Amino acid sequence: MSVNIQRSDAENAYLDAFAVAEDTLPDAAWLEPMRKAARDRFAETGLPHRRMEAWRWTDLRTILDQGFPPALSERQEGAGGVAQNSAFAALDRHIVTFVDGYFRADLSDFDGLAGEVETVLLGAGLADAPGWLKDRFGQAFPDAEDTLSALNTAFLTGGIAISVPAGTKVAKPIELVFAGTGTAPETLNTRCLIHVAKGADVTVLDSHTGAGAGSYVANNWTEVFVEDGGRAQHVKVQAEAPDAVHLANLHAVVGAEADFRAFCLHTGARAARNQIQVRLAGEGGHANIASAYMLSGRQHCDTALMVDHAVAKCTSNELFKCVMDDHARGIFQGKIIVRPDAQQTDGMQMTKGLLLSETAEFDAKPELEIFADDVRCTHGATSGELDEDSMFYLRSRGIPVDEAKSLLIGAFIGEAIEEVVGDEIRDGLTAFVAHMRDQAKESI
């Protein structure tokens, strides 16, 4: 007996768009089997909903309350000046900009990278993808059955793959700007693949931003492959438009003695779901995952993090500092797996929620699956309000309540920002946080 599943408007919008996508997207023979598998998977599972454990706090089926068909046609306009508003505007960096899911040459400047790294734009560039890209595309966690990545594969329109040759230390950071104008309620599917060969070193800055007031869904998938001795840092600012929904997957595979650092600041979107998966696949590898949330109004931000210690002698460090005001809701789900052979693992996880109102909420769910015995794995989760003694101390020196709060909130978030490597990058983030706080005060 077959059961007719009632699909939501959003789900139908995706299902209806499959045929359009097949006609519109650039042909890439090697990609077709993956695209078909993705379409089939989505048709079977639909959007995640809260009866699925990993989505219990984020019912995506309800959050996507209307159709957001994938953007499948270029809109070569709008969002001018978007890079100037980025948190990294003061830095000397390469810039690659995508607006509404498509690459914008006029808003990009990365000629300086030629000769240092190899880049492939993931629109038309998919057809003639080089071997290193085909080998890794979607391969960091190939068995992850995830709806967001399925949609991304089926409807991908723009993105970039970067391969850093062995031993190359990329001199300037590379900023990827993903902007949504909200001109139409669409899903923007973008992708990034970063390959760091042995001993190479690169910092990628990721700015997700709204360039207009409308509603859209940003669905980004970033995969990072760090080979032995390599170093990769991914610093992301999620400042989507207030009515937008931000969906993201960050996958990383870390080789022996390699170092992967990821930082994400969440200040935008009405709902954000950040999925981070890291596999420490080589002995002596290190992963550092930090994040800061600055949520107010009815914002919702959910990070599902998984760090897999697959081999011995790896270290991982996680720090989440989440500030929630008004009716905002912050969620952290952090799983650490230590496989049977992963002896001498050292893993640390710390999550702290700061609630600025009686109606704000913070949910933390640490999960540790430890199968080896020579392991150190510590985790802590706390949640509280602004410290009264600290507030009184600042006020007793003449600092008014609002400014005192800002100082303490800045200090709270600053601890996460401290995990980022690079003075200028940290300064940019700190200034951006202060700017967002000032804006929030003005809008009261």
Per-residue CA distances from 101 to 164, 232, 257 (Å) = 24, 24, 35
**Window of 100-108, 138-146, 258-266, 396-404 that interacts with other proteins by CB under 8 A:** 396-404
Torsion of CA 361, 303, 403, 235, to 10 degrees: 180
* 396 lies in the site for other proteins, by CB under 8 A: yes
**Window of 5-13, 36-44, 133-141, 387-395 that interacts with other proteins by CB under 8 A:** 387-395
Give the three-state DSSP class for 90.
Answer: coil
- Region of 312 please: left (phi>0), alpha (psi -120 to 50) or beta: beta
Of 40 and 418, nearer to other proteins (C-beta) is 418
Of 51 and 397, nearer to other proteins (C-beta) is 397
Torsion of CA 329, 235, 108, 154, to 10 degrees: -60
Q: How far apart are CA 368 and CA 371, in angstroms?
A: 10
Q: Which of 390, 424, 431, 441 is in the footprint of other proteins by CB under 8 A?
A: 390
Q: What is the closest distance, in whole angstroms, from the C-beta atom of residue 382 to other proteins in the complex?
A: 14
Give the three-state DSSP class for 59.
Answer: coil
- CB-based contacts of 155: which residues, under 8 Å, 6+ apart? 14, 17, 21, 25, 70, 72, 187, 189
Of 231 and 321, nearer to other proteins (C-beta) is 321
**Touching other proteins, residues 64-83 (CB under 8 A):** none
From the list 346, 336, 343, 337, the residue with the least C-alpha distance to 372 is 343
Determine how β-strand 174-180 pairs with β-strand 187-196. unpaired
* 386 lies in the site for other proteins, by CB under 8 A: no
* 397 lies in the site for other proteins, by CB under 8 A: yes
- The helix (run of H) or strand (run of E) holding residue 396 is helix 388-396
Q: What is the closest distance, in whole angstroms, from the C-beta atom of residue 426 to other proteins in the complex?
A: 13
Of 358 and 389, nearer to other proteins (C-beta) is 389
**What x-and-dash track marks residues 222-251 binding other proteins by CB under 8 A?**
------------------------------
Q: How far apart are CA 158 and CA 103, in angstroms?
A: 6
Q: What is the closest distance, in whole angstroms, from the C-beta atom of residue 399 to other proteins in the complex?
A: 5
Q: What is the closest distance, in whole angstroms, from the C-beta atom of residue 401 to other proteins in the complex?
A: 7
Q: What is the closest distance, in whole angstroms, from the C-beta atom of residue 296 to other proteins in the complex?
A: 20
* 139 lies in the site for other proteins, by CB under 8 A: no
**Window of 43-51, 221-229, 279-287, 385-393 that interacts with other proteins by CB under 8 A:** 385-393
**Window of 29-37, 54-62, 161-169, 389-397 that interacts with other proteins by CB under 8 A:** 389-397
Residue 131 burial (10 A CB sphere; 0-12, 13-18, 19+): exposed
**What x-and-dash track marks residues 400-429 binding other proteins by CB under 8 A?**
xx-xx--xx-xxx-xx--------------
Q: What is the closest distance, in whole angstroms, from the C-beta atom of residue 87 to other proteins in the complex?
A: 19
Of 269 and 425, nearer to other proteins (C-beta) is 425
Q: What is the closest distance, in whole angstroms, from the C-beta atom of residue 439 to other proteins in the complex?
A: 19
CB 157 within 8 A of CB 126: no
- CB-based contacts of 158: which residues, under 8 Å, 6+ apart? 98, 101, 102, 103, 121, 122, 123, 190, 191
Of 408 and 440, nearer to other proteins (C-beta) is 408
Residue 240: CA count within 13 A, CB half-sphere: 29
CB 361 within 8 A of CB 397: no
Beta carbons within 10 angstroms of residue 442's beta carbon: 7
Beta carbons within 10 angstroms of residue 26's beta carbon: 13
Q: What is the closest distance, in whole angstroms, from the C-beta atom of residue 400 to other proteins in the complex?
A: 5
The DSSP call for residue 23 is H
Q: Which of 394, 421, 434, 440 is in the footprint of other proteins by CB under 8 A?
A: 394
Q: Which of 15, 348, 370, 399 is in the footprint of other proteins by CB under 8 A?
A: 399
**Window of 135-143, 194-202, 329-337, 388-396 that interacts with other proteins by CB under 8 A:** 388-396
Of 52 and 394, nearer to other proteins (C-beta) is 394
* 393 lies in the site for other proteins, by CB under 8 A: yes
- CB-based contacts of 122: which residues, under 8 Å, 6+ apart? 156, 158, 159, 160, 161, 191, 193
Size of the site for other proteins (CB under 8 A): 21
Of 109 and 415, nearer to other proteins (C-beta) is 415
CB 102 within 8 A of CB 123: yes
**Window of 8-16, 213-221, 271-279, 399-407 that interacts with other proteins by CB under 8 A:** 399-407
Binding site for other proteins (CB under 8 A): 389-390, 392-401, 403-404, 407-408, 410-412, 414-415
